Structure 1
Amino acid sequence: MRLIALETATEACSAALWIDGDLRWRLERAAARRHGELVLEQVQRLLAEAGLAPAQLDAVAVGRGPGAFTGVRLGLGVAQGLAFATGIPVVPVSTLAALAQQGADRGAREVLAVLDARMREVYWSLLHAGPDGLVTAAAESLSAPQGVRVDWGAGPRLALGSGLSAHPELVRWLGLSEPEADATALPCAREVAVLGAAAHARGEAVPPEQARPVYLRDRVAEPSRAPAAPGRGGGE
């Protein structure tokens, strides 16, 4: 299968090309206002290097959020435009799951993906990594840092994402040691491609007009109210 993947939901802009398990990718960190220019260049370079035309692709995977409004909209728009032009489907992939996949690839069994959402809030989700891939343990949420409540399971654990750099107190609140936290990690099209290929194989691709962004903030009337210090126990 030949799949192009895009991820533009954060300050990191990237594209990846999956060809029957062979993965090539490009990552650049830049201001969001350049994402449109950069991601199109990345797609063109990847296809040219592989000697492929867009019409030879089977699908386009895209990070569908949550993340920056402009970045999520841009990535989805580029993916839909490519899909409409070539007659291929879109595979929407959770940006948080793509980030969590990095933790799974590093050997973690319990992965907390947490992105800075501005306005003193974070996007976050807890996922378990197993032999069949990632399984969501705590649904994607938008909350104040105090609202991040994690019930850690057994096995190595890792929290990663820009939410940790914006709110470093989370590491202490969640009972993590320094090696169990990576505040520099950002979502990448490499993992969007891996998860997108698996989702495509499960029949989860959709027509481009059915691909939808996930913002989370649209569904929140006001910031979450939570206890002053999150612990390791379950939710309320």
Structure 2
Amino acid sequence: MLLLALDTATPAVTVALYETDGDRLLAASDQTDARRHGELLLPSVDRVLREAGRPLQEVDRVIVGTGPGPYTGLRVGLVTAETFGAALGIPVLGLCTLDGIAYASGLESPFVVATDARRKEVYWARYADARTRVGDPAVDRPEELPAEVTALPAIGAGARLYEEVFKGAWQEGGTGDQGGPGAEPPLGQSAAALACLAAEKLAKGEEFPPPRPLYLRRPDARVPANYKVVTPK
């Protein structure tokens, strides 16, 4: 089975092609530009397919990160995935973006994933291990998180951004639960990790959440209040 994975819920525009029959990553592309998701995504898909030497028509499943993430970036990946699914007549499977970051860590003890939600907030979730999320993702100001959360080993761009709050932020060269000496924590999303996680879930016959966005809050753009309505006389 050929999986095309993509995610635009973070500043990263990440795409990967994964073959489940041989459990192997065929190609991947990772770029970071929070303002160019729409411009970079399709060329990234094309580049990954060309590098792997496989046509789009051979893809059996599309895996897409569902966030949480900002409205504009997140919808680019979801709409693109749904379009591929409709055009090819194949299933589109959603996975929480934070789950992909957690999976890439390989941690086997409790930790937290935190990404930058802007507005001085973070999207976050707790994990029992790299494959097991505890509860639903949430969005909060870092200083308002419970002490038992901020004391856990923490990975992701949000943990790095607010190191003064996340006391257990995983540092390069950490030890113990924070990785071996010289270990580097995953800061952002990787479609390769998302594809690997999806392959595991498919092999076990597990269900996937629908490919629907986890916005968790209202978009930044709003209709102005008390604006003057102009109508023709």
- TM-score relative to the length of structure 2: 0.78
User: Are 2:151 and 1:148 equivalent residues in the alignment?
Assistant: no
| 2:155 equivalent in structure 1 | 160
Distance 1:167 1:112 in 2: 13
Q: Which amino acid aligns with 2:124?
A: W
* Superposition map of 1:27-176 within 5 A: 27-30=30-33, 32-104=34-106, 107-129=107-129, 134-149=131-146, 151=148, 158-172=153-167, 175=168
Distance 1:110 1:124 in 2: 14
SS at match of 1:170: coil
Structure-2 change in CA distance of 1:205 and 1:110 (3 Å): closer
Q: Which runs of 5+ in 2 are unaligned?
A: 220-233
Q: CA deviation at 1:51?
A: 2.4
User: Are 2:8 and 1:3 equivalent residues in the alignment?
Assistant: no
SS at match of 1:213: coil
SS at match of 1:33: coil
Q: Which amino acid aligns with 1:147?
A: E
Q: Which amino acid aligns with 2:16?
A: A
Q: Which amino acid aligns with 1:25?
A: A
Q: CA deviation at 1:13?
A: 1.0
Structure-2 change in CA distance of 1:55 and 1:184 (3 Å): closer
Q: How many residues align?
A: 204
| 1:227 equivalent in structure 2 | none
| 2:228 equivalent in structure 1 | none
Structure-2 change in CA distance of 1:116 and 1:19 (3 Å): same
Q: Which amino acid aligns with 2:143?
A: Q
Distance 2:165 2:28 in 1: 31
Q: CA deviation at 1:165?
A: 3.2
Distance 1:188 1:167 in 2: 21
Contact 2:113 2:159 in 1 (8 A): no
Contact 1:163 1:183 in 2 (8 A): no
Q: CA deviation at 1:37?
A: 2.5
SS at match of 1:215: coil
* Superposition map of 1:207-222 within 5 A: 211-218=211-218
Q: Considering fraction of residues, name the structure with more helix.
A: 1
Q: Which amino acid aligns with 2:87?
A: A
Deviations 1:139-192 (A, max 9, x none): 21111112333657xxxx7311121233221233xx557423978711111111
Deviations 1:185-213 (A, max 9, x none): 1111111111222333425358xxx6211
Percent identity of equivalent pairs? 34
Q: Which runs of 5+ in 1 are unaligned?
A: 220-236
Distance 1:59 1:36 in 2: 21
RMSD (CA atoms) = 2.5
Contact 1:103 1:111 in 2 (8 A): no
Contact 1:4 1:17 in 2 (8 A): yes
Deviations 1:82-141 (A, max 9, x none): 11110111110101111111212xx44223110111112111001122xxx611124211
| 2:225 equivalent in structure 1 | none
Q: Which amino acid aligns with 2:159?
A: L
Q: Which amino acid aligns with 2:125?
A: S
Structure-2 change in CA distance of 1:71 and 1:169 (3 Å): same
Distance 1:170 1:211 in 2: 32
Structure-2 change in CA distance of 1:34 and 1:124 (3 Å): same
